Structure 1
Amino acid sequence: MPQPDEARNRKNDNLISAKTHWKLYTSFCELYPEGAFTLDRNGVFKSVNSKALDMLGYSREQLNKDFNQLITEDDRSEVLRRFEDALMGNPQNYHCEIIHQNGRPVQFNLTHIPIWHNGEIIGVFGIARNLTMMNQKESELLKIAKSLNLAQEIAKIGSWDYDVKSSYVYCSDPLYRILGIKKEEGFKTTYENLLGMVCQEDRERFHAQFERLLQTGEEMDLTYSIEKPDHTIMTAHVRAIARTDKDGEIVRVIGILHDISEMVFTENRLKESEEKFETVAKNLDVGIFSVDILTGQVVYGSPAVEKLSGYPLQAFYSGQVKWEDLIHEEDVKDYRNQQGKLFQGEMLHHQYRIVDAASEIKWMEDKTFPILNGKGRLVRLDGIVQDISERKRNEEKIHFFAYHDYLTELPNRRMFDQKLEQFIAEGQGEHRRFALFYLDLDRFKYVNDTLGHEVGDRLLCEMSKRLTSKLGESILFRIGGDEFTIIQQLITAEDPGRLAQQVIQEVEKPFQIEGYEIHITTSIGVSIYPDDGTTLSKLKMNADAALYRAKELGKNGVQFFNKWLYIQSYKLFSMENDLRKALQNDEFCLYYQSRVDTLTGTIVGAEALIRWRHPQKGLVPPSEFIPLAEEIGIINDISYWVIHQVCQQLKAWKEAGYSVVPVSINLPAKTLMKADLIVNIKEKLAGHSVSPSLLEIEITENSLMSNDGAGLSAIQQLRELGIAISIDDFGTGYSSIGYLKQFKVDYLKIDRSFIREIQNNAEDLTITQSIILLAKGFGLKVVAEGVESDEQRELLQSLNCHYMQGYLFSKPLPVDSFTSLLSGARP
């Protein structure tokens, strides 16, 4: 049984060993290229590297606690189980959520590798990979732990001289100290006494070699263990030679004893560390290597090197395969240039491609660390390599879609602007001309709304492929929605026109998509560099103005920019700005045109017609600003303003004692579709105490046909309120008798185009007569618009038309003038 002093010394040795062991792993942890940490058996952090701190947002001081406190509550029990399994010697790999310093959970992949010491597991080496960061960007390459070799202490050596005759061993003072023998205590250094200090398991071997030396003179070279007086064990290496007298008899043996305890301890520790390092390395997908610069030989390669290259490690060790031989031919020059940094003591971090044994090209990220000797000379290279092919593919994909449309893979708006700037710069220097085309697909929204967005997307892709195949050197871009551009370079005067017609013809050809035959057309606006602009913004603006004009002229055509278009574009821009301010500046007003009974000529109603009192242009008719209001999205505000003004005026007439007649209001399709239309009208009627019977809503035939679902619901609700419904401009739109049956309305208003020449044109007369007969068949009243002569009035009377409206009776009048008309009807 060990004495107390002996036990205390052993405990101290183990403590020092454990601390050194943790220090080794702390160093390895900090050098590790990914997030890494070590935990003791209680789950408390022993070390955390900078990478892990960056990922978690904590400082090193904040992580002086139990690792499990960082785990979300849902994952805590599973993580604890995994940690306990690792302490049983089973490496673990799993996913969990860790609480970031900002309080948010972050998805991590964790690896636990047991840390062994003296046959026992004293903790866990952990690797943390941020899974969230790995979806946008591949994880950072691992850093290799540098050499873990321990520097050897200065050798402890003692000399001795054995006298064969007396069996006495003369020892030097250093040898006494090494053996722990004190001269003053009277220990006799005889061979027998010294042999007794040799540990039992080595004693017989030691004695046999010593006897052979005495018998044959063969040199003695032996490593063995000694138990010192304080019962500590020392490892010694002894070398001895025999000396003979003049007769050749061996009379002396002279030797040295070297205390190699620390060296053996260091070697054992190094071997243990290498085994554990190898365990870690085998669990990584990162290649770790070490190259001796003096010999040019690979002295270490991890299993991942074999996996990355496709060549066995032995091929690298033997020199049969060199890593530089795998470098892609396009990257060899740069690779060799980069290597020069290592000889200057700089760490090298670069990326290149290799061609592996299967001829597959792979992207590598390489971190190489130069190891210099005391004289500053490069003696070794340690490093890591990792396959980043997937990351490169993702980066290339991200870069591609930064400049290309995701759906069609055509160059996008960003690429378009860059190319346009480039061609403008080149054109200035070399006087090159090019054409800029703006394309807009006609009625593409109808395809989306009717057949769905998937079919619409397929149509855009197919059209893009078709045009790209026909454009040659010209470049097609998708800049958004159904909007495309083309840049045609090095043009003659005729080239843009020919290309525009070719594009129109290609788009006109039917597309077969998911069983549908789809027909579509395109409108094109063209501007020419430098004729129509020498800057990006000017060329784009002028091409857009030309496109707008092409759509105005009926679509499916091409329009080249000219100065007149610029003037029109500026006027439109100016009008749009003014129109947006018109409501808040109270620039709108209502005019009223009377509706009269055909037989009596009595005023039975009126139509409210909006006008715009422009500060500079004077009175602007609705035909000039209503379409623009619809396009820029303020038509509903204008419609609600009209409803409010009409209700307010009806109330004013009623309070003034006039015989109030119903007033009709024109509502566009967009307003008819508004969800709050009915609520708004109810509020305005109630707020002004106006009967619904005094309000009439006019809708066009086209808006009725194109909004059947929502339109039918709105019409039904309006009629249920007691509001009359009339169809304006009847006969000019889609004209469907079935709709008259489906939509319950009260009036049909015959468009003025049929009344203008009714007395001279038999066709107009027939159409008018048919409409009146049709209306009577459905029990509807008929209003003829645009009546301007007595002849027209008499003809309409003969056809039994119910009501008339036109300049024959009154032109549209401001409210004061129309009020004077009503005064004749005062009771």
Structure 2
Amino acid sequence: MLLRWAAAIGAAVLLVGVVEFLAVSRIVEQRVLAQTTAELSRSVRGVEELLRRPDAQSGTAQADLLDRLDDVRRLRGARHVTLHGPGGAVIASVGRVDHAPDAAAIREVRRSGRATARVDRDGRGADERIVHEHLVPVRAPGGPMVLAVDMPSDLVQTLLADLRRLHGAGLLVVAGVAVPLSFALGGWWLLRDQRRDQRSADTDALTGLLGRRPFAPALRAALAAPEPDQWALALIDLDDFKYINDRLGHRHGDRVLRELADSFQHLRETDLAFRIGGDEFAVLLPGVDEQQAASVLERARAAFTVAQLDVTMSIGVASAPTGGAVDPDELWERADAALYEAKRRGRRQTVLFASIAEGVAVTADKLAATQDLLTGDHGFGVVFQPIWDLAQGRVLGHEALLRLPVDAPLDGPSEALRLADRLGCAPLLDALGREAVLQRVADCAWYGLLFLNMHPASLRTLRVADLVADVEAAGLQASEVVVEVTEQADLDRAEDIRALKSLREAGFLLALDDLGAGNAGLRALGNIDFDVVKLDRAVVGRSGIDPAADATLAAARMFAARTGGWVIAEGIETAGDLRSFHATHDPNLVSPRLGGQGYFLGRPAAVPRSILTRLEASLPNPG
């Protein structure tokens, strides 16, 4: 009886142990698969941005795509990463491909738009090879694509091997104390491995900082905590880091990233630093407002400047009270908007969200409206505002102005372009705007010059020959088109200067727009031979009462008088504006060619004015 009882106990222990081991094995494997799939779904956003670029088919874009896929492979420890196009064909692949994904599974992911993961076993016994296959949908302009990622199962197999070893030892001992003890030891080993792997997953291997994974939970916990009463979030981005990598190599780039991480040691002990992307970092600072946080961050900037004299960083800072008053996503958007403004202003800038809050209101409906414009679901409208030769009183040309759909929740095309720029799609939206303009020009009788605005980001991807062909298809020649770039563009960049010179060589005229809106316009005049200088409306409005405005206007007219170009005043709203513009003429200079536009001279209209139209406004004598 005792032997039968002991045998029954032993059989029960064996059965329970086997069932529990199988159940735990399944749970561990499925959780690892689900977590890895979720992380890969976030990683494809960078791939999607590259596929939306206007030059996505160029050699440079293809190289960037391979680099991004290789980043995914290295950061996730994958065997290989393959991008399958809308038809299932392989678009790009990195790593050693020793396993072909199931074509039917790829079609299902492309159809459903949902990521999947499965375990693939090849061989038997000691030769068995286990691969975790992840299929993640990728949104692309030409149709849905699928990213196939093969991951090794080392982590899962290590955990299961530990569990199998401990259960095997426990099953050999059927005594009442040995069975729970084996399970306790098994739980301890499993917890130890889990904590070790958790620490590895939460830490960035290159810099030793916390990684992207723990950032969101830390931000949520910070804003939900009752103390301290407020937190600041800083987003930090290295200026021109891609150029550093391309020029000096990834090994030097890695050293720069480590030195930036080391500079965070000069922050307070309570501050938490994270590496959330390639050259993107975040810092959580408890108990400080934006101004105080900026002061703390200057310590890190100073230390980093000592280590890297030729590398700079841009910083965006936002703060919020705790207790749920501000959602973590909203605080992120604020800090991101501040960082965007810091990058727009140039290198080595720190911008506080409070200083730009009135002009920033990013909402889901605004982002959706911008996406509709990018996908062509809602197109631009086009109107033309006349620009007058003020000496002759005749139409010089028209500036093409974009108009949004009447129900769009955006504050004009400029906000749409700003949001598109933050999405990395400004060149695409700008190209769609030019396409709408040229189509409208082709549909109407055209007179004089066409003033065509171009977003600064478009200069870096512009194909001048394509623009010439588009202009000629609309019935114009390049010499009849004035390409406008704003003075707030970074016209010190060699690639931008080359693009503008290529436009001039192709026959286009060049205009510097919004002179006086910032402080970079006069420097731009020294880098590029502009044919037209357009004065910001604030300069015209302040002329005669603001010495700075008068100096800007005088400098523009002197430039035009010496080069034979045009000075065009924007925003002429009243007869007084027109008189003020003429009154600043210097009789000692050769009279420049003066032009003007504004509501006083003519409102934008759907149809351009005839070249024979005479200006009805009373013109003062410029001499």
Q: Same fold (TM over 0.5)?
A: yes
Match of 2:173 among 301, 320, 341: 341
Pairing 1:472–2:472 present: no
Counterpart-to-counterpart distance in 2, 1:769 and 1:421 = 54
Question: Contact (CA 8 Å) 2:271, 2:285: kept in 1 or not?
Answer: yes
Are 2:404 and 1:609 equivalent residues in the alignment? no
Secondary structure of residue in 1 paired with 2:385: strand
Contact 2:316 2:337 in 1 (8 A): no
The alpha carbon displacement at 1:755 in A equals 2.8
Distance 1:107 1:445, change over 3 A: farther
Q: How does 1:264-343 map to 2 (within 5 A)?
A: 341=173
1:498-540 C-alpha deviation (Å, 9 max, x unpaired): 972553232342425666265545332233331425xxxx3x1
3-state SS, counterpart of residue 544 of structure 2: coil
- Match in the other structure for 1:703: 489
Write the distance in 1 (CA, Å) between the matches of 2:272 and 2:320. 15
User: 2:452 aligned with 1:688, yes or no?
Assistant: no
RMSD: 5.1
- Contact between 1:697 and 1:724, CA under 8 Å: does it hold in 2? yes
**2:428 aligned partner, one-letter code:** D
1:374-773 to 2 correspondence within 5 Å? Answer: 398-419=197-218, 435-441=230-236, 444-450=238-244, 457-468=254-265, 470-480=267-277, 481-486=279-284, 488=286, 500=293, 503-512=296-305, 516=309, 518=311, 520=313, 522-532=315-325, 538=327, 540-548=328-336, 550-551=338-339, 556=350, 558=352, 572-582=363-373, 584-586=376-378, 588-615=380-407, 620-654=411-445, 660-675=447-462, 677-703=463-489, 705-709=491-495, 711-730=496-515, 732-735=518-521, 740=525, 743-773=528-558
Q: Deviations over 1:55-100 (max 9, x none)?
A: xxxxxxxxxxxxxxxxxxxxxxxxxxxxxxxxxxxxxxxxxxxx99
* Alpha carbons of structure 1 residues 450 and 706: separation in structure 2 relative to 1, 3 Å: farther
Maintained 8 Å contact 1:455/1:514: no
State whether residues 594 and 809 of structure 1, in contact with CA within 8 Å, keep that contact through their aligned partners in structure 2: no
SS in 2 for 1:755: helix
Q: What code does the residue aligned with 1:341 have?
A: V
User: Any conservation in 2 of the 1:614–1:620 contact (CA below 8 Å)?
Assistant: no
Q: Report if aligned partners of 1:594, 1:603 keep a CA contact under 8 Å in 2.
A: yes
TM-fit CA distance, 1:350:
7.8
1:150-196 deviations in Å (ceiling 9; x for gaps): xxxxxxxxxxxxxxxxxxxxxxxxxxxxxxxxxxxxxxxxxxxxxxx
Q: Judging changes above 3 Å, is the alpha-carbon distance between structure 1 residues 459 and 525 closer, same or farther for their aligned structure 2 residues?
A: farther
| Structure number, greater radius of gyration | 1
What 5-or-longer segments of structure 2 have no aligned partner? 1-97, 102-120, 132-151, 343-348, 616-623
AA of the residue aligned to 2:284:
I
Q: Distance in 2 between matches of 1:819 and 1:483?
A: 53
> What one-letter code is carried by the residue in structure 2 that aligns with 1:441?
I
Taking the aligned partners of 2:539 and 2:99, their CA distance within structure 1 comes to: 76
Deviation string, structure 1 residues 547-586 (Cα, Å, up to 9, x no partner): 246457866355589xx97x98765332221232246354
Contact residue 403 and residue 412 of structure 1 kept, 8 A:
yes
Q: Distance in 1 between matches of 2:604 and 2:233?
A: 44
User: Secondary structure of the residue that 2:206 maps to in structure 1?
Assistant: coil
Deviation string 1:789-816 (CA, Å, 9 cap, x unpaired) is: 3423533665623031133752441223
Over 3 Å counting, the alpha-carbon distance change for 1:742 and 1:552 in structure 2 is closer
CA distance in 1, matches of 2:333, 2:100: 54
Give the deviation of 1:603 after TM superposition. 1.0
Task: Tell me which residue corresponds to 1:819.
Answer: 609
SS in 2 for 1:681: helix
> Corresponding residue for 2:43?
none
Q: CA deviation at 1:662?
A: 1.0
Looking at structure 1, the residues matched to 122 and 522 of structure 2 have their Cα atoms a distance apart, in angstroms, of 62
The aligned runs of 1:157-306 (5 Å cut-off) are: none
CA, structure 1 residues 393+408, in 2 after alignment: closer, same or farther (shift >3 Å)?
farther
Aligned counterparts of 1:662 and 1:345: Cα–Cα separation in 2: 94
Deviation at 1:761, TM superposition (A): 4.2
Tell me the SS of whatever aligns to 1:696: strand
Question: Contact (CA 8 Å) 2:430, 2:458: kept in 1 or not?
Answer: yes
Q: Deviations over 1:229-283 (max 9, x none)?
A: xxxxxxxxxxxxxxxxxxxxxxxxxxxxxxxxxxxxxxxxxxxxxxxxxxxxxxx
**SS at the partner of 2:239?**
helix
Which SS does the other structure have where 1:610 is aligned?
Answer: strand
* Cα displacement (A) at 1:128: 7.5
**Segment drifting more, 684-693 vs 444-453:** 444-453
In structure 2, which of residues 588, 594, 608 is the aligned counterpart of residue 803 of structure 1?
Answer: 594
Does the 8 Å contact 2:540/2:570 carry over to 1?
Answer: yes
**SS of corresponding position for 1:509:** helix
- Closer, same or farther in 2 for the Cα pair 1:809/1:683, shift >3 Å? same
* In structure 2, C-alpha distance between the alignment counterparts of 1:706 and 1:626, rounded to whole Å: 22
**Which residue identity does 1:701 align to in structure 2?**
E
Q: TM-score, normalised by structure 1?
A: 0.46
CA distance in 1, matches of 2:222, 2:543: 59
Equivalent pair of 1:510/1:519 in contact (CA under 8 Å): no
Q: CA deviation at 1:589?
A: 1.9
For the 8 Å contact 1:592–1:814, the answer to whether it is kept is yes
On the 8 A contact 1:596/1:604 being kept in 2, the answer is: yes
Equivalent residues of 2:460, 2:499 under 8 A apart: yes
With normalisation by structure 2, the TM-score equals 0.59
Residues 1:616 and 1:688: Cα distance change in structure 2 (over 3 Å)? closer
For the Cα contact (< 8 Å) 2:486–2:512, is it kept in 1?
yes
SS in 2 for 1:516: coil
What are the Cα deviations for residues 711-732 of structure 1, in whole angstroms up to 9, with x where unaligned?
A: 3443344334322222223454
Contact 2:399–2:450 under 8 Å retained in 1: yes
CA distance in 2, matches of 1:140, 1:585: 51
Contact in 1 for aligned 2:384/2:605 (Cα 8 Å): yes
Tell me if the contact between 2:273 and 2:283 (Cα under 8 Å) persists in the aligned partners: yes
Q: Cα–Cα, structure 1 residues 590 and 803, in superposed 2: closer, same or farther, change >3 Å?
A: farther
Is contact 2:515–2:533 with CA below 8 Å preserved after alignment? yes
| Equivalent residue pairs, number | 457
Using CA pairs below 8 Å that are at least 6 residues apart, which structure has the higher relative contact order?
2
Equivalent AA in structure 1 for residue 280 of structure 2: D
CA shift, 1:342, in A, is 6.3
* 2:281 partner letter: E
Cα distance in structure 2, aligned partners of 1:714 and 1:602: 32
Q: Identity rate of aligned residues, in percent?
A: 17
Contact conserved, 1:752 with 1:784, CA < 8 A, in 2?
Answer: yes
8 Å contact kept, 1:448–1:455: no
Query: Would you tell me which structure has more strand in proportion to its own residues?
Result: 1
The structural deviation recorded for 1:610 is 1.6
State the AA in 1 paired with 2:487: E
**Distance in 2 separating the partners of 1:569 and 1:501:** 20
In structure 2, the residue corresponding to 1:819 is in which secondary structure?
coil
Query: What's the offset of the Cα at 1:665?
Result: 0.6
Structure 1 residues 423, 594: CA separation in 2 closer, same or farther (over 3 Å shift)?
closer
Q: Hey, what does 1:227 align to over in structure 2?
A: none
